[in-house]
């Protein structure tokens, strides 16, 4: 082996050893999770094979599955003591205190009783353990609420042979006996008999934790699933179930799942109990949320199983009455649990930064002890030969200068041990506990709707809340309410922005309401009297179930009524006639182009819409609000009631051209029934650029106006859709239908062929308008995010939703401003993700020179992918593309993240690109990817991170961050149970960070610094005494003053700062989020401040010791001429030291409240009282060293002179420094305090003079940038001013969105807010397509039906130019007098 190789290997070995030490984790040591087991075979209604058992007849270990008990807590009854002690002894100081306690068990070094010596350490460990145990009990209680949930499990006549591990004895279960339910054994609520009479099989109420692999379970609607379950049968006739998966992937649209065809006969308990034996062979458990491979073998036939037939834990059953299934994976083997980690043991940054400071103090302690040892040994060696009497017999083996030096070193450790105060950790724990109580009792962050307070589940992280630099947020349920509402629309080039919310009490909204009313009155007056509809013109629509929100626009209603009036159709004004047709067509498309199912409530008779897509539900509901009510579908017949007709209009659904991510549109082909019109109609909705590209030439003004409206909608963060239609002749349709059928039965490239044929029909469309839907936000989300950004906190959103949805939410929440430039990085395409990021760096950040931009080295991947500019609609990206003042927002999808995390170079590039952008949005990400994103930022940038979410898919992210915040959502408590803080609403995060976090960090930082400082004072005095005491390591004070220094004399002052200090008022911190930069920049606790405080303590010890010593012995201060006794001048030093330390601590406070005054004065008052009372105790009662001091000190002129002299001299430097800083170099907080004092009622949030021209540098920088703070109400109201009013003259403002660059394709476009959530290629859609195909063939003549079954080799192309120039939505004359078809010629 070469020397170089040897050197390299020896270098790697220490590094590997050190890396293993640094990576050591207490969580890993006590983790109960095991690696995923081998592939499993689940046996149902049959015994296990003999090879599953060992020689003792027990099931082998590899075939014993995890129980369904899920534990998010840290401790069990067995691991609590060892794990908690290991966590506490990660503190270096605790190890030091333990060593000192052990040292004093030796009689040679004992100062007091050894039991008393170790008692403080035991108390600290015990109290901390009690606190940790209480926190964990709360976790166990939350776990119990989940594990004790009830599900119906098959019982009676069925034995499950599959073996399951026993449940763990948790901390709570071990201490508190499990309470039995009061339900009777035969109660109707516990047992569900749905089989025929005489059967013993039934469904029994069973807790989630008792569900086993291989159990049959019956799941009810609107309830979550307890495990990963194979679907056997559902309440649907075609065995389809709809599930809500937002807890897993963040998507709000429902997913359809189907039962396994081989098991659909298992529809009741009796059928399940007597089912033909079968087995399920599964792959090993894995955390991939989108993959599951298994097979079911029944009656000798193997049937494949995939995720389409699986219900995953964490999802919820919707629009389905019940589902019967077999449990495949439970507990830690279920996918959602495998994507979450074990509960970590988190330590605050302040506590971590204390360790180096403790090490410095230990080094100082070791240095002082070594100095004393060397000096004492040297003096003994010098004076022993001279016959010094105190060194008599100093030549023994256990008593000589060398040995005595070592003994003196040990004694010095005990003498100066208070430089590392044992009470510091106890004080911090008490303060943090009380700070958590302050958070709990704060009514401003108490969610009244659910009576949910903000709960601190980890009490030791309060100061971390004041140092957050990055926030990682989920979207669904965290930022949004999981509710879609129809907000605005554009019809025929006229914008309808909705009526302002009258419930709003803000000044802006109130003024907007008045403006709207005035314009409505003016518009109504401008209408001819003949155009004003009366109540007799409008047919009352059927009752639709109230969803909590109803779209209202007075002007739109007036236009619809005018369009329905008798004179509207006869009006000679072609513009009004065309707009009337557009209105009817627009809402007809909303009411008919969808896959919504209408159901009638049996009790109220109201129509209830059930939809997989929340967008479709909102669109259909909006049409119903305007009188165009979708009544339902009878197989392929759609019914709609319009405002003008008493009888419903019926349409035959011929085709559905599905929505997918590439088409970005959905179309339906309809035929009007009950009429003589043989035309067919294509109704389309989709993305603006897709629809605009397929419009019929002409109507450029309408396109331009609609494009401007779309841009305005997008700037408000609304999700937009563009609507269009087309008239199709019957012969053209028949010709196209043949080609469409041929594509649907194609074996190769079926999807591409279907898209191509669909493209033939979806062209030459006529534009109707656009819709704007709001993904309703949680209250106060936009304002909260805007203020957090002002505080300098970077916000990254990680969601499972698709890209368009994520961008739309980014806009509505202020994460993406109106002028922000969006950079999109996608995976799965031909262009590598590394190249996309490298191109983005080169194009948008050419000034970055601090890193080399890596690119993949393969030549095939290094080809140039040029960026190109494209036009979408009528808007063109300007020349300053990529240079807007709004900065950049990076959008990355899950596939791109998978590639980016594959190498260290691409990780660094992703991180650099992300940090250069104002915000990052990660879409289509898995739960594990969320955690990886957090760790990428936290581990590489060494910044403080906070993750917030509400679902089970957010648990891993919450646990990976420094601080995890869970929202106690309506869909479960998975996130809250695993979090450090549980809140009711996202908006509470603002006060939690800006006020409670900032206060706690400032208080705790000042507390710790003052704790170190106040112990340097007595340590310094004792050290200076060694100079005059032969370096013997003796105490200068009476031991009672040392004993009570950190408890009675000085403790309450520093604790008072930790509890009652206020840097500024809470309202100021809320009004000026920029002040949070003090926390982000570690202003309140740093090594610099540590050294300054240590120097202050050292300086004060010099003043106190030497002034009093030289004053006392020059020559003497006693009137009788005797020298002062040691404890006379040391008591003076003790009193002076206590006074100086307490007042100095008080000077470090920002606000002197009465509580703080009491805390500071308590120790001073107590030491004076104690000194004079204790020194009066006669030796007849107890022997003390201080007897008589009450007389000697009270009569000593030096005592009364020395106290004020050393007091003022000690505090003078700090007082002068503070006065100079406030008067000549004030910082932002000093200025705000002064403003608050002089003008306590000034509005700091809105008064610009508060922060202009007075030196608030940070504030001026932040306020100087134009920020868009969108409030949903104000944005709707203001849109009345920005959009072209439908009732008055005026031009629309040219609202130009910033650029959107897709790095995977190089296309640069304008983002107009398109978004539409629906399941692609789901079971329900396939079922509808099959029914349509069968119905179409059954209704065609035999020759044509045969032709469709056997497509011709040369399909007939559609004739062009034959379409009649008639509009689909024309209004007939005398429409209210004569009932007839709505679709007639002009």
1190: how many CB neighbours lie within 10 A of its CB? 16
pLDDT band (50, 70, 90) for residue 706: very high
pLDDT single digits (tens) 319-338: 888 999 999 999 888 888 88
Q: Over 90: is that where the pLDDT of 1282 sits?
A: no
492 dihedral zone (left: phi>0; alpha: psi -120 to 50; beta)? left
Q: Over 70: is that where the pLDDT of 228 sits?
A: yes
pLDDT single digits (tens) 1223-1269: 898 988 988 989 888 888 888 877 655 543 344 444 444 443 444 44
State residue 34's pLDDT score.
62
What is the token pair recorded at 63? 């075939």
Mean pLDDT calculated for residue range 1293-1304: 60
Q: For residue 650, give the nearest of 667, 666, 636, 664 by alpha carbon.
A: 636
Q: For residue 950, give the nearest of 965, 928, 933 by alpha carbon.
A: 965
Mean pLDDT calculated for residue range 1138-1156: 93
Distances in Å between the Cα of 1033 and the Cα atoms of 374, 710, 895 are 12, 82, 67
Please give the residue that has the higher pLDDT: either 699 or 1219. 1219
Q: Over 50: is that where the pLDDT of 920 sits?
A: yes
- Between CA 1193 and CA 1197, with CA 1196 as vertex, the angle to 5 degrees is 135
pLDDT single digits (tens) 671-688: 888 776 667 899 999 988
Q: Which residues contact 706 (CB under 8 A, 6 or more apart)?
A: 490, 493, 722, 767, 769, 770, 873
State residue 1076's pLDDT score.
94
Mean pLDDT calculated for residue range 698-726: 88
State residue 747's pLDDT score.
78
pLDDT band (50, 70, 90) for residue 852: low
Distances in Å between the Cα of 799 and the Cα atoms of 474, 477, 659, 741, 1061 are 5, 11, 22, 38, 39
Mean pLDDT calculated for residue range 1075-1080: 92
pLDDT single digits (tens) 136-155: 887 788 788 888 889 999 98
In order, the DSSP letters of 1314-1377 are: B-----SS-HHHHHHHHHHHHHHHHHS-HHHHHHHHS--SSPPPPPSS-S-S--TTPPPTTTTT
Q: Any idea which of 25-39, 399-413, 551-565, 1128-1142 has the lowest mean pLDDT?
A: 25-39
State residue 1157's pLDDT score.
92
pLDDT band (50, 70, 90) for residue 1297: very low
pLDDT band (50, 70, 90) for residue 1159: very high
State residue 986's pLDDT score.
92
Provide, for the chain, the percentages of residues in helix, strand and coil under a 3-state DSSP scheme, each rounded to the nearest 5: 45, 15, 40
Q: How much of the chain, in percent, has pLDDT values that exceed 70?
A: 76
What is the token pair recorded at 62? 């590899």
pTM of the full predicted structure?
Answer: 0.81
Residue for token pair 């170079």: 905
Residue for token pair 């922060």: 1251
State residue 866's pLDDT score.
40
Q: How many residues does the chain have?
A: 1386
Coil, helix or strand at residue 1222: helix
Q: Give all strands (DSSP E) within 70-227, no chain letters.
A: 150-155, 163-164, 191-192, 202-207, 216-220
- 327 contacts 217 by C-beta, under 8 angstroms: yes
d(CA 742, CA 1218): 86
State residue 1101's pLDDT score.
95
465: how many CB neighbours lie within 10 A of its CB? 30
pLDDT single digits (tens) 972-989: 567 887 889 999 999 999
Q: Over 60: is that where the pLDDT of 1061 sits?
A: yes
d(CA 1297, CA 821): 9
State residue 1132's pLDDT score.
92
Phi, psi of 60 (to 5 degrees): -65, 155
Q: For residue 1357, give the nearest of 734, 758, 742, 669 by alpha carbon.
A: 734
State residue 176's pLDDT score.
47
Q: Which residues contact 752 (CB under 8 A, 6 or more apart)?
A: none
Q: Over 60: is that where the pLDDT of 845 sits?
A: yes
State residue 1283's pLDDT score.
38
pLDDT band (50, 70, 90) for residue 962: very high
What is the token pair recorded at 335? 């996918």
Coil, helix or strand at residue 181: coil
State residue 1275's pLDDT score.
34
- 418 contacts 1021 by C-beta, under 8 angstroms: no
* DSSP H/E element including 639: strand 637-641
Residue for token pair 């052990």: 102
pLDDT band (50, 70, 90) for residue 502: low
State residue 860's pLDDT score.
36
Mean pLDDT calculated for residue range 512-539: 50
Looking at residue 76, what DSSP letter applies?
B
d(CA 1041, CA 1163): 12
Q: How much of the chain, in percent, has pLDDT values that exceed 90?
A: 26
Q: For residue 959, give the nearest of 346, 356, 404 by alpha carbon.
A: 346
d(CA 490, CA 722): 9
Q: Over 80: is that where the pLDDT of 529 sits?
A: no
What is the token pair recorded at 405? 């030096």
Average predicted confidence (pLDDT) for the chain: 79
pLDDT single digits (tens) 722-743: 999 999 888 888 889 888 888 8
- 57 contacts 115 by C-beta, under 8 angstroms: no
Coil, helix or strand at residue 787: helix
Q: Give all strands (DSSP E) within 158-247, no chain letters.
A: 163-164, 191-192, 202-207, 216-220, 228-234, 240-244
State residue 1267's pLDDT score.
42
Q: Over 80: is that where the pLDDT of 698 sits?
A: yes
Q: Over 50: is that where the pLDDT of 1376 sits?
A: no
Catalytic residue among 474, 571, 625, 962: 474
Q: Any idea which of 637-651, 1253-1267, 1350-1364 has the lowest mean pLDDT?
A: 1350-1364
824: how many CB neighbours lie within 10 A of its CB? 24
Query: What torsion do the CA atoms of 148, 152, 158, 159 make, to the nearest 10 degrees?
Result: -20
Of the ranges 115-124, 778-787, 1266-1275, the best mean pLDDT one = 778-787
For residue 573, indicate whether it is catalytic. no
């Amino acid at each position: 082996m070469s020397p170089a190789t040897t050197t390299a290997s020896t270098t790697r070995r220490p590094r590997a050893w050190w890396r293993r030490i640094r990576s050591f984790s207490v969580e890993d040591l006590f983790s109960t999770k095991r690696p995923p087991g081998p592939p499993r075979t689940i046996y149902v209604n049959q015994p296990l094979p003999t090879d599953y058992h060992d020689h003792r007849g027990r099931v082998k270990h590899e075939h014993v599955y995890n129980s369904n008990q899920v534990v998010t807590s840290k401790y069990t009854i067995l691991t609590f003591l060892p794990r908690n002690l290991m966590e506490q002894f990660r503190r270096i100081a605790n190890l030091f205190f333990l060593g000192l306690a052990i040292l004093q068990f030796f009689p040679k070094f004992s100062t007091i009783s050894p039991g008393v010596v170790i008692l403080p350490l035991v108390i600290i460990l015990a109290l901390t353990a009690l606190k940790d145990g209480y926190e964990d009990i709360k976790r166990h209680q939350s776990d119990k609420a989940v594990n004790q949930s009830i599900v119906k499990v098959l019982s009676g006549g069925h034995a499950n042979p599959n073996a399951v591990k026993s449940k763990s004895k948790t901390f709570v279960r071990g201490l508190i006996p499990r309470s039995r339910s009061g339900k009777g054994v035969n109660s109707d609520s516990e047992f569900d008999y749905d089989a025929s009479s005489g059967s013993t099989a039934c469904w029994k109420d069973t807790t989630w934790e008792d569900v086993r692999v291989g159990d049959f379970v019956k799941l009810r609607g609107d309830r979550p699933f307890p495990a990963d379950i194979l679907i056997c049968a559902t309440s649907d006739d075609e065995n389809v179930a709809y599930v809500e998966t937002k807890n897993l992937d963040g998507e709000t649209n429902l997913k359809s799942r189907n039962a396994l065809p081989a098991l659909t006969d298992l529809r009741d308990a009796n059928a399940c109990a007597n089912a033909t034996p079968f087995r399920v062979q599964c792959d090993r458990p894995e955390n991939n949320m989108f993959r599951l491979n298994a097979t079911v073998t029944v009656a000798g036939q193997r049937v494949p199983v995939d995720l389409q037939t699986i219900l995953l834990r964490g999802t919820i059953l919707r629009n389905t009455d019940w589902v019967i299934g077999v449990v495949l994976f439970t507990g830690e083997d279920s996918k959602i649990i495998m994507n979450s980690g074990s509960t970590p043991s988190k330590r605050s940054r302040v506590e971590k930064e204390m360790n180096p400071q403790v090490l410095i103090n230990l080094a100082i302690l070791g240095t002082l002890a070594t100095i004393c040892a060397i000096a004492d040994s040297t003096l003994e060696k010098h004076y022993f030969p001279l016959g010094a009497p105190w060194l008599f017999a100093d030549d023994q083996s256990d008593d000589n200068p060398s040995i005595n030096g070592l003994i003196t070193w040990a004694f010095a450790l005990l003498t100066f041990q208070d430089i590392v105060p044992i009470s510091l950790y106890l004080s911090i724990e008490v303060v943090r506990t009380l700070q958590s109580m302050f958070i709990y009792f704060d009514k401003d962050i108490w969610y009244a709707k659910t009576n949910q307070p903000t709960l601190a589940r980890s009490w030791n992280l309060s100061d971390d809340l004041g140092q957050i630099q990055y926030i990682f947020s989920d979207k669904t349920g965290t930022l949004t309410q999981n509710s879609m509402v129809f907000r605005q629309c554009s019809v025929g080039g006229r914008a309808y922005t909705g009526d302002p919310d009258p419930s709003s009490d803000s000044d802006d909204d109130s003024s907007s309401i008045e403006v709207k009313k005035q314009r409505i009155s003016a518009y109504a007056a401008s209408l001819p009297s003949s155009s004003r509809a009366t109540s007799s013109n409008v047919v009352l629509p059927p009752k639709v179930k109230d969803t909590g929100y109803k779209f209202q626009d007075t002007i739109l209603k007036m236009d619809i009524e005018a369009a329905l009036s008798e004179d509207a159709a006869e009006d000679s004004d072609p513009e009004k006639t065309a707009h009337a047709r557009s209105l009817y067509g627009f809402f007809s498309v909303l009411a008919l182009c969808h896959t919504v199912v209408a159901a009638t409530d049996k009790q109220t008779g109201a129509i209830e819409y059930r939809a997989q897509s929340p967008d479709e539900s909102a669109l259909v509901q909006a049409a119903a609000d305007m009188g165009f009510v979708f009544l339902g579908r009878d197989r392929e017949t759609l019914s709609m009631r319009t405002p003008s007709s008493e009888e419903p209009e019926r349409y035959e659904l011929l085709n559905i051209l599905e929505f997918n991510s590439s088409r970005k549109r959905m179309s339906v082909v309809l035929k009007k029934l009950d009429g003589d019109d043989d035309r067919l109609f294509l109704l389309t909705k989709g993305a603006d650029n897709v629809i605009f590209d397929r419009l019929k030439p002409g109507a450029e003004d309408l396109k331009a106006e609609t494009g401007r409206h779309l841009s305005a909608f997008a700037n408000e963060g609304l999700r937009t859709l563009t609507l269009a239609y087309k008239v199709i002749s019957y012969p053209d349709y028949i010709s196209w239908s043949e080609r469409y059928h041929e594509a649907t039965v194609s074996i190769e490239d079926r999807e591409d062929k279907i898209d191509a044929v669909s493209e033939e029909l979806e062209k030459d469309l006529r534009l109707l308008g656009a819709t704007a839907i709001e993904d309703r936000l949680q209250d106060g989300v936009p304002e909260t995010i805007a203020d957090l950004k002002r505080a300098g906190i970077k916000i990254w959103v990680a969601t499972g939703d698709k890209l368009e949805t994520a961008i739309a939410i980014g806009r509505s929440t202020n994460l993406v401003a109106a002028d922000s430039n969006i950079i999109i990085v996608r995976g799965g395409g031909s262009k590598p993700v590394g190249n996309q990021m490298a191109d983005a760096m080169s194009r948008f950040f050419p000034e970055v020179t601090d890193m080399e931009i890596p690119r993949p080295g393969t030549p095939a991947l290094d080809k140039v992918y040029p960026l190109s500019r494209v036009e979408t609609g009528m808007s063109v990206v300007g020349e300053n593309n990529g240079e807007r003042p709004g900065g950049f927002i990076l959008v990355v999808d899950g596939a791109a993240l998978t590639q980016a995390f594959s190498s260290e170079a691409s990780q660094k590039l992703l991180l650099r690109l992300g940090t250069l952008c104002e915000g990052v949005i990660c879409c289509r990400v898995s739960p594990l990817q969320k955690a990886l994103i957090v760790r990428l930022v936290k581990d590489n940038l060494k910044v403080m991170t906070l993750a917030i979410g509400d679902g089970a898919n957010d648990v891993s992210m919450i646990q990976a961050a420094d601080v995890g915040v869970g929202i106690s959502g309506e869909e479960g408590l998975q996130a809250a149970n695993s979090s450090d803080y549980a809140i009711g609403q996202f908006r509470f995060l603002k006060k939690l960070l800006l006020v409670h976090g900032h206060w706690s960090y400032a208080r705790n930082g000042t507390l710790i610094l003052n704790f170190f400082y106040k112990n340097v004072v007595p340590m310094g005095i004792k050290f200076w005494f060694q100079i005059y005491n032969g370096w013997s390591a003796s105490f200068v004070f009476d031991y009672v003053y040392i004993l009570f220094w950190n408890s009675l004399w000085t403790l309450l002052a520093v604790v008072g700062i930790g509890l009652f200090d206020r840097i500024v008022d809470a309202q100021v911190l809320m009004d000026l989020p920029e002040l949070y930069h003090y926390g982000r920049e570690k202003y309140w606790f740093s090594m610099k401040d540590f050294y300054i405080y240590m120097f202050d303590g050292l300086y004060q010890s010099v003043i106190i010791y030497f002034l009093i010593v030289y004053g006392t012995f020059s020559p003497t201060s006693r009137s009788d001429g005797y020298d002062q006794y040691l404890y006379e001048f040391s008591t003076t030093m003790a009193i002076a030291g206590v006074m100086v330390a307490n007042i100095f601590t008080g000077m470090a406070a920002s606000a002197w409240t009465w509580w703080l005054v009491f805390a500071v004065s308590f120790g001073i008052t107590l030491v004076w009282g104690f000194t004079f009372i204790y020194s009066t105790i006669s030796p007849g009662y107890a022997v003390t060293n201080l007897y008589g001091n009450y007389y000697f000190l009270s009569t000593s002129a030096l005592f009364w002179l020395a106290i004020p002299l050393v007091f003022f001299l000690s505090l003078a430097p700090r007082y002068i420094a503070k006065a100079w800083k406030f008067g000549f170099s004030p910082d932002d907080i000093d200025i705000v305090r002064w403003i608050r004092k002089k003008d306590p009622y000034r509005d700091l949030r809105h008064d610009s003079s508060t922060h202009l021209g007075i030196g608030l540098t940070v504030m001026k920088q932040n306020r100087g940038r134009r920020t868009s703070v969108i409030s949903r109400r104000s944005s709707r109201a203001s849109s009345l001013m920005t959009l072209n009013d439908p009732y008055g003259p005026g031009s629309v403002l040219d609202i130009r969105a910033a650029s959107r660059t897709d790095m995977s394709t190089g296309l640069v476009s304008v983002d107009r807010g398109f978004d539409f959530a629906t399941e692609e290629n789901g079971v329900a859609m396939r079922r509808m397509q099959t029914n349509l195909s069968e119905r179409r063939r059954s209704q065609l003549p035999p020759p044509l039906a045969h032709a469709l079954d056997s497509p011709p080799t040369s399909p007939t192309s559609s004739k062009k130019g034959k379409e009649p120039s008639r509009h689909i939505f024309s209004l007939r004359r005398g429409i209210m007098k004569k009932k007839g078809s709505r679709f007639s010629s002009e």
